[in-house]
Amino acid sequence: MSADNVYPVPQNVADHALLNRQQYDQMFKQSLADPNAFWAEQADQFLTWFKKWDTVNNSDLAKGHIAWFEGGQLNVSYNCIDRHLEAHGDRTAIIWEGDTPGDTRHISYKALHAEVCQLANALKARGVKKGDRVAIYMPMIPEAAVAMLACTRIGAVHSIVFGGFSPQALRDRIEASECQVVITADEGLRGGKPVPLKENVEKAIDGIAAVHTVVTVKRTGNPVSWSEPRDVWYHEIIDAASTECEPEPMDAEDPLFILYTSGSTGKPKGVLHTTGGYLLQAAMTHRYVFDYHEGEVYWCTADVGWVTGHSYIVYGPLCNGATTLIFEGIPTYPDASRFWQVIDDHQVNIFYTAPTAIRSLMGQGDELVKKTSRQSLRILGSVGEPINPEAWEWYYRVVGDERCRIVDTWWQTETGAIMISPLPGAIDLKPGSATLPFFGVNLELVDNDGNVLEGAVEGNLCITQAWPSMMRTIYGDHERFINTYLSTYAGKYFTGDGARRDEDGYYWITGRVDDVLNVSGHRMGTAEIESALVLHDAVAEAAVVGYPHDLKGQGIYCYVTLMGGIEPSDALQKELSDLVRKEIGPIAKPDVIQWAPGLPKTRSGKIMRRILRKVATNELDSLGDTSTLADPSVVDDLISNRAGQ
Ligand code: ATP
Ligand code: MG
């Protein structure tokens, strides 16, 4: 194992942070020793309740029953808006940066309140009741957040489908969660190109009689087909509605939303989250992981179609009274310095993005970053995949000017909130490690037989106690919930991810357990080999999978995307092979290197290794569910250029 770089917390950062190391240690200890007292205290501090709970935690992982704050009542939109009005009504809740530079809006908490109430009233007028499901299929415009909050105000359950999904994927999700209403826009706009959202909705709901209302926001103004009385314009129904709407008191365990996972590993799962526990942990992690100080501008680049957008664009930040930036565009339009320009334009203090974006912008060279100031930045975040140390160092050095703390946050749609992450003022950083668990998160590494592993070791990552923002079920399929997460290691939540714990107790996510290789009896994470490959200047991105190998059990198959302008060659292949050997050891030497102009990714930008595995083993008729693939043509190219073994 190569020696780790450590970036200790500078004293001035510790002094100004919400939590220092001593406080983290003390709170973490209490959170595990006396979870009921700990969470009761946090629930009091972070949320406003209409009625206090009777029991803090009534969960039993072995039985698949999860419940927090039963008997308590609250409303999410009230917590995210109303309670801030008196002291901070004029504060900007949402800064919107449109696809076209300079196209921006500032929405105060007061204005957000009025519009959320209007839409809530309009939905009620269309017959939407507590518990009804509403699909949201929208571009990244403020109305998307308004739609989410309006649902929560009246107790409707939203199910957001990423605006880049096809009509078929949208249809599957609308049917599976039995939505009666769809909220959309005429078109989206990304990188200057229109996205036909309303047209896609038409195709998706064709023949589904249950959908009685489609609300359409006018975004581009281009003509769309229209069918009354089903279709209504967003601006018309809200103009006709009152700006006051009483928030519906919801039980802590009432459903809040359904969200489908990205589909990296198989058929997407409709994850159900409930009200009290989810909101508490979203708010608390947002405050502590990003060390959010009042008045700061916070920007998460995710789409609201992913869980990161739910917890860290809308619910966490607004619950904390923060100013959250919503970005409609893409990182490379009009050019690849867009992120850094937006940071300067809006004086962003905290920036949260994904390794896929960091790696691709790193590939564009430093000049595009360096020509911007970025002086406002204080904290940088990463989420979605393991971040290779090489990309981490670039993020730290070039984007953050060696001044910003980096929080590499590990979590899942299912966990609802960040589970493993550094806290800026408390935890020393190691590039590539998500570091230590958040409060109340009891991690365990187990071997394949379920034996608990102690000390510095690698294994399957489990969580042994329920936490407030844990998913409650897979919508409509509780059995699948139990089988997928709670049965592999009885009584524990199994994440599906592998991890290594080092001598300092730091966690290093090695990738999906299905992707962990066993080469001649040695277990190896794909992330480790990929990180070695991207150390080479010629490599932009790499993905590694295993395939059956007569002698070694499993062989190492590497797909490598080169930097723009670099030509593949046998000499380069040898250099890469030698590099992996040198970095990890002879055992990790690649068996196959295939040049890949592009890698198959989900629409959230994650590499789909399961497809790469199928290509490597030549099982081309069983590629599995490919509906969440961003660009199917990438797969055709990989197949036709398959390397012989
Ligand atoms: P599906 O469950 O449908 O296969 P998915 O797991 O990609 O899709 P998400 O819930 O969006 O859907 O992603 C969670 C997964 O992303 C984690 O299980 C982990 O593998 C990976 N991940 C997220 N953050 C990190 C991180 N900071 N470091 C390493 N891996 C991460
Ligand atoms: Mg998953």
Give the type of residue at 183.
I
> Once rounded to an integer, what is the mean pLDDT over residues 499-523?
90
Atom of ligand 1 nearest to the CA of 495: 18
Do 536 and 465 share a structural domain? no
CA separation for the pair 143, 132 (Å, rounded): 20
Do 552 and 488 share a structural domain? no
Q: Is the CB of 355 under 6 A from ligand 1?
A: no
Do 574 and 463 share a structural domain? no
* ipTM for this model: 0.99
Whether residue 645 has pLDDT greater than 60: no
pLDDT tens digits for 488-502?
A: 999 999 999 999 999
Q: Is the CB of 408 under 6 A from ligand 1?
A: yes
Q: How far is the CA of 495 from the centre of ligand 2 (A)?
A: 8
Residue 505 lies in a domain: no
Whether residue 556 has pLDDT greater than 60: yes
Q: Is the CB of 497 under 6 A from ligand 1?
A: yes
Give the domain CATH number at 596: 3.30.300.30
Binding residues for Mg(2+): 534, 536, 539
Window from 325-334, 390-399, 409-418, 627-636 with minimum mean pLDDT:
627-636
Q: Of the ligands numbered here, which is closest to the C-alpha atom of 271?
A: 1
CA 480 → CA 268, 474, 475, 483, 484, distances in Å? 12, 7, 9, 5, 6
Return the structure tokens found at 577. 């092979």
For the residues of 44-59, what is the DSSP string, one character each? HHH---SB--SEEE--
Do 163 and 247 share a structural domain? yes
Q: How far is the CA of 605 from the centre of ligand 2 (A)?
A: 14
> Once rounded to an integer, what is the mean pLDDT over residues 479-490?
95
Q: How far is the CA of 482 from the centre of ligand 2 (A)?
A: 15
Q: Is the CB of 216 under 6 A from ligand 1?
A: no
Q: How far is the CA of 254 from the centre of ligand 1 (A)?
A: 26
Q: Which residue's C-alpha comes closest to atom 14 of ligand 1?
A: 412
Q: What is the DSSP letter of 401?
A: T
Do 465 and 575 share a structural domain? no
The angle formed by the CA atoms of residues 32, 34 and 35, to the nearest 5 degrees, is 65
Q: Is the CB of 472 under 6 A from ligand 1?
A: no
Do 549 and 432 share a structural domain? no
Nearest to 98 by CA among 219, 224, 222, 195: 219
> Once rounded to an integer, what is the mean pLDDT over residues 312-337?
98
Q: Is the CB of 268 under 6 A from ligand 1?
A: yes
Predicted confidence band at 97 (pLDDT cuts at 50, 70, 90)?
very high
Residue 376 lies in a domain: yes
CA separation for the pair 592, 358 (Å, rounded): 26
Identify the residue whose tokens are 């595995």. 613
Nearest to 205 by CA among 236, 234, 168, 239: 168
Q: What is the DSSP letter of 644?
A: P
Q: Which residue's C-alpha comes closest to atom 29 of ligand 1?
A: 386
Three-class DSSP category at 35: helix
Do 538 and 473 share a structural domain? no
CB count within 10 Å of CB 529 equals 24
Q: What is the dihedral of CA 466, 480, 384, 618, to 10 degrees?
A: 150
Chain mean pLDDT for the chain: 95
Q: Is the CB of 263 under 6 A from ligand 1?
A: yes
According to DSSP, the residues that pair with 274 across neighbouring strands are: 255
Give the domain CATH number at 233: 3.40.50.12780
Q: Of the ligands numbered here, which is closest to the C-alpha atom of 262?
A: 1
CA separation for the pair 408, 387 (Å, rounded): 8
CA 445 → CA 487, 498, 600, distances in Å? 16, 8, 30
Nearest to 469 by CA among 636, 296, 315, 247: 315
Whether residue 109 has pLDDT greater than 90: yes
Return the structure tokens found at 182. 């769809």
Question: 134, 183 in Cβ contact below 8 A?
Answer: yes
> Once rounded to an integer, what is the mean pLDDT over residues 432-456?
97
Q: Is the CB of 384 under 6 A from ligand 1?
A: yes
Whether residue 419 has pLDDT greater than 70: yes
Question: 577, 533 in Cβ contact below 8 A?
Answer: no
CB within 8 Å of 126: residues ≥ 6 apart:
181, 212, 213, 232, 237
Whether residue 2 has pLDDT greater than 70: no
For residue 608, the enclosing domain spans 520-641
Exposed, middle or buried, 544 (CB in 10 Å: 0-12/13-18/19+)?
buried
**Residues, beta carbon < 5 Å, ion ligand 2:** 261
Q: Is the CB of 273 under 6 A from ligand 1?
A: no
Q: What is the DSSP letter of 205?
A: H
CA separation for the pair 213, 181 (Å, rounded): 5
> Once rounded to an integer, what is the mean pLDDT over residues 95-121?
98
Q: Is the CB of 261 under 6 A from ligand 1?
A: yes
**pLDDT (0 to 100) of residue 443:** 98
Atom of ligand 1 nearest to the CA of 527: 29
Three-class DSSP category at 292: coil
Mutate to test the pocket of ligand 1, among 413, 433, 435, 438 (most ligand atoms within 8 A of CB): 413
Residue 5 lies in a domain: no
Task: Compute CA 594 distance to the chain's CA centroid, rounded to the nearest angstrom.
Answer: 29
Nearest to 642 by CA among 615, 623, 619, 620: 615
Three-class DSSP category at 288: helix
Whether residue 1 has pLDDT greater than 50: no
Residue 451 lies in a domain: no
According to DSSP, the residues that pair with 612 across neighbouring strands are: none
Do 372 and 231 share a structural domain? yes
Mutate to test the pocket of ligand 1, among 162, 165, 262 (most ligand atoms within 8 A of CB): 262
Do 367 and 280 share a structural domain? yes
pLDDT tens digits for 127-173?
A: 999 999 999 999 999 999 999 999 999 999 999 999 988 898 899 99
Binding residues: 190-193, 308, 384-386, 408-413, 497, 512, 520, 523, 534, 536, 539, 581
Give the type of residue at 531.
S
Q: Is the CB of 303 under 6 A from ligand 1?
A: no
According to DSSP, the residues that pair with 445 across neighbouring strands are: 453, 461
CA separation for the pair 525, 515 (Å, rounded): 7
- Helix, strand and coil content of the chain, in percent to the nearest 5, comes to 35, 25, 40
CB within 8 Å of 636: residues ≥ 6 apart:
none
Binding residues for ATP: 384-386, 408-413, 497, 512, 523
CA separation for the pair 517, 495 (Å, rounded): 18
Residue 2 lies in a domain: no
Whether residue 543 has pLDDT greater than 60: yes
Residue 348 lies in a domain: yes
Do 541 and 495 share a structural domain? no
Residue 515 lies in a domain: no
pLDDT tens digits for 268-306?
A: 889 999 999 999 999 999 999 999 999 999 999 999 999
**pLDDT (0 to 100) of residue 644:** 60
Q: Which residue's C-alpha comes closest to atom 18 of ligand 1?
A: 412
Work out how many domains the chain is built from and give that number.
Answer: 2
Window from 92-106, 120-134, 344-358, 538-552 with minimum mean pLDDT:
538-552
Question: 573, 593 in Cβ contact below 8 A?
Answer: yes
Atom of ligand 1 nearest to the CA of 261: 3
> Once rounded to an integer, what is the mean pLDDT over residues 427-436?
98
Residue 98 lies in a domain: yes
Atom of ligand 1 nearest to the CA of 408: 27
Exposed, middle or buried, 621 (CB in 10 Å: 0-12/13-18/19+)?
exposed
pLDDT tens digits for 327-378?
A: 999 999 999 999 999 999 999 999 999 999 999 899 888 999 999 999 999 9
**pLDDT (0 to 100) of residue 93:** 99
Task: Compute CA 557 distance to the chain's CA centroid, rounded to the nearest angstrom.
Answer: 28
CA atoms within 13 A on the CB side of 166: 11
Backbone angles phi and psi of 593, in degrees to 5: -120, 120
CA separation for the pair 106, 604 (Å, rounded): 27
CB count within 10 Å of CB 230 equals 13
Question: 449, 427 in Cβ contact below 8 A?
Answer: no
| Strand 443-446 to 457-463 pairing | antiparallel
Do 195 and 134 share a structural domain? yes
| Burial per residue of 301-313, b for 16 or more beta-carbon CB atoms within 10 angstroms, e otherwise | bbbbbbbbbbbbb
CA separation for the pair 423, 384 (Å, rounded): 18
Return the structure tokens found at 25. 């240690």
Nearest to 233 by CA among 282, 184, 176, 197: 184
CB count within 10 Å of CB 421 equals 26
Q: What is the DSSP letter of 425?
A: T
> Once rounded to an integer, what is the mean pLDDT over residues 553-582?
94
Question: 245, 120 in Cβ contact below 8 A?
Answer: yes
Do 478 and 574 share a structural domain? no
Whether residue 115 has pLDDT greater than 60: yes
Question: 458, 528 in Cβ contact below 8 A?
Answer: no
Window from 79-88, 319-328, 632-641 with minimum mean pLDDT:
632-641
More confident residue, 263 or 15: 15
> Once rounded to an integer, what is the mean pLDDT over residues 397-420?
98
